[in-house]
Structure 1
Amino acid sequence: MARAADGSLDRAENAKLIQHIEQGGISTLLYGGNAIFYHLTLAEYRAALEMISELAADSSLVIPAIGPAYGTMLDQAEILNDFAFPTAMVLPQRDIVTSAGFCTGVRNLTQRLGKPVVLYLKFGGVVTVEDAAALVNDGHISAIKYAVVREDYMRDDYLKALTEKIDPSLILSGLGDQPAITHMRHFGLGGFTTGCGCVFPQLSTDLLKAIQAENWDEAEAIRERFLPLENLRDNLGPITILHRATELAGIAQTGPISPLLSEPAAAIREQIAAALTQIQQSV
């Protein structure tokens, strides 16, 4: 999400970013953590929804995030009902929820919206497999974005249990391009979300096509091209690194980073620029 120097939403720069992503073959725009959607005020939330709904191509699927606090979800639902977005993404909190309580909240939310939502599973066990399956079976979930970090993505009992209870095609690998091959090849997930695809959308599109064609060597070669930037995101902060990388790549002036996040130091920006150059030379 690009902002002007005064912190306001920058329509012209967001248009550049959206067009760059769409021209790279990506037709689903998910506004969640990387867009820092969870720190928007209610007034900004409406303005952001108006902007992205007007700027995105008619053929693009736009999914805004909602919440994560319950009260925020309900207030944002009233705003979302003024728009035609087919779904929204809900991020469970980790420390002040129970699985059953969260699922009650989702049911209340979808009743207000009149449509199912994307369930974002970022922490193992916050929502139990049984509760997630019940939400899916009862028609409250349009998709699941699965983003639980593992040391070994081949070994994930939570994901395995989810795929045994829920159609794997409804579950998307939600950790960027790095675990996408493992998640789609070995767990049968239906697709993946990308962060670095904001900068290199064609490369991410190529990765998806290679996985779908089961060209595993090609897919692995493409995945490795993302590593210079992905490693920085893993080690130094996925949101702030991507925010500044988008600008350093010359795609759009993304502007200041919203509190409660902070600007990468000058030395880190130099590392981002070097990573971008390395990826560009590999393409």
Structure 2
Amino acid sequence: MSAVSGETTTSFSDRLRGIHAATIVPMTPDFEIDEPKLAAHLASVATVPGINGLLVNGHAGENFVMSLAEKRRVVELARKHTPKNCLIVSGVNHESSLEAAREAAALDQAGADGLLVFPPNSWALAHADDCVIAHHRRIRDATTLPLMLYAAPVSAGVMAYAPPLLEQLVADRRFVAVKEGSWEVAAYEQNFRLIRKLRPEFVVLGSGDEHLMTSYLVGSTGSQVSLACVVPALVVSLWNAAEANDWERARAVHEKLYPLAAAIYRDAPGGRATVRLKACLKLLGRLSCDAVRPPQPPVTPSEQHALELALRITGQ
């Protein structure tokens, strides 16, 4: 149980409801973490009405190119500079199960409320199901925090868990939620129905930024999305409309959000979301330097133009 506002207690699963922003990590021009800018970014997003928590050290937070000390520092700053009732979930991402377990323990000590276990990038090539189970168990045994699964995009091939493997993962009672990032509506609904059949209380967060409205229509407890670190109020507005079953209003918000989601996440080449997120924040005057760690090159003129147009549609 976790304290909320110092008065009542609410479970981690209950606190996952609604919108949680996946945040970026501002860098200096020489690729060091800009701690004052990071603290400001975390605080500004977390204090937007309707943002119930943050996902730090996620893909948007460049977790695959960050050291353990840096990831720990991100959690410490999130804990220090956000409201006391802000739920802080940290990603755990490492190719080595042993290092991932150490990471989990360190992020627990740094003050995270829960941990999201990302599949190692090498799994996109090939892996045995037993490797996946062993990896998650190593992390599970290194911490007492609530744990979340990550459902990777179907475009990532075998990194996306097939139903029989997902069933095994969900059976572990230490895991209580999934960031469902299949990024494909049919796969999302298949996974949603399977999980709810196995464990009705299991939290499913619809987290494909381009089809949030569809996920909410199928069924969702909320979302952990990086789109919410750029236009948090709009993402909250979409969720509130869906919660109220006001699908006409939800559709109107979706029309504002979709061009930006496509410009950030869908437009070729792939793997450019963090670069584009930072470019958006710079365009909006919330970031002075949009550096992303190599090997990612800076935003291109065509990318920037597309982002400028999409931001105008959102009303920013």
Tell me if 1:20 matches 2:75. no
Give the letter aligned to residue 22 of structure 1: A
Matched residue, 1:185? 217
TM-score when scaled to structure 1?
0.88
Give the letter aligned to residue 27 of structure 1: N
> Do the aligned partners of 1:87 and 1:142 also contact (CA within 8 Å) in 2?
no
Fraction of identical pairs, as percent: 18
1:196 to 220, 227, 251: 227
Matched residue, 1:34? 60
Distance 1:133 1:29, change over 3 A: same
Tell me if 1:106 matches 2:136. yes
> Do the aligned partners of 2:47 and 2:83 also contact (CA within 8 Å) in 1?
no
Tell me if 1:8 matches 2:32. yes
Give the letter aligned to residue 197 of structure 2: E
Distance 1:156 1:211, change over 3 A: closer
Question: Which segment drifts farther, 2-11 or 163-172?
Answer: 163-172
Tell me if 1:253 matches 2:295. no
Tell me if 1:239 matches 2:274. yes
Whole-Å Cα distance in 1 between the matches of residues 171 and 186 of structure 2?
26
Between the two proteins, the alignment pairs up a number of residues equal to 278
SS of alignment partner, residue 298 of structure 2: coil
Whole-Å Cα distance in 1 between the matches of residues 94 and 162 of structure 2?
18
Whole-Å Cα distance in 2 between the matches of residues 19 and 252 of structure 1?
13
SS of alignment partner, residue 112 of structure 1: coil
Unpaired stretches in structure 2, ≥5 consecutive residues: 1-24
Give the letter aligned to residue 229 of structure 2: C
Tell me if 1:74 matches 2:108. no
> Do the aligned partners of 1:4 and 1:256 also contact (CA within 8 Å) in 2?
yes
> Do the aligned partners of 2:118 and 2:150 also contact (CA within 8 Å) in 1?
yes
- Residue 22 of structure 1 and its aligned partner are, at CA, apart by 2.2
SS of alignment partner, residue 226 of structure 1: helix
TM-score when scaled to structure 2?
0.80
Distance 1:167 1:253, change over 3 A: farther
Question: Which segment drifts farther, 162-171 or 14-23?
Answer: 162-171
Give the letter aligned to residue 44 of structure 1: E
- 1:153-206 alpha-carbon deviations (Å, 9 max, x no partner): 488534443333232751111112x322222222x2211232222111111111
1:14-163 pair list within 5 angstroms = 14-25=38-49, 26-31=51-56, 32-69=58-95, 70-93=97-120, 94-124=124-154, 126-150=160-184, 152-153=185-186, 156-163=189-196
- Residue 4 of structure 1 and its aligned partner are, at CA, apart by 1.8
Tell me if 1:170 matches 2:203. yes
- 1:220-262 alpha-carbon deviations (Å, 9 max, x no partner): 1101101221121211432221121111111223531112322
- Residue 78 of structure 1 and its aligned partner are, at CA, apart by 3.7
Unpaired stretches in structure 1, ≥5 consecutive residues: none
Distance 1:160 1:266, change over 3 A: same
SS of alignment partner, residue 118 of structure 1: strand
2:308 to 244, 252, 273: 273
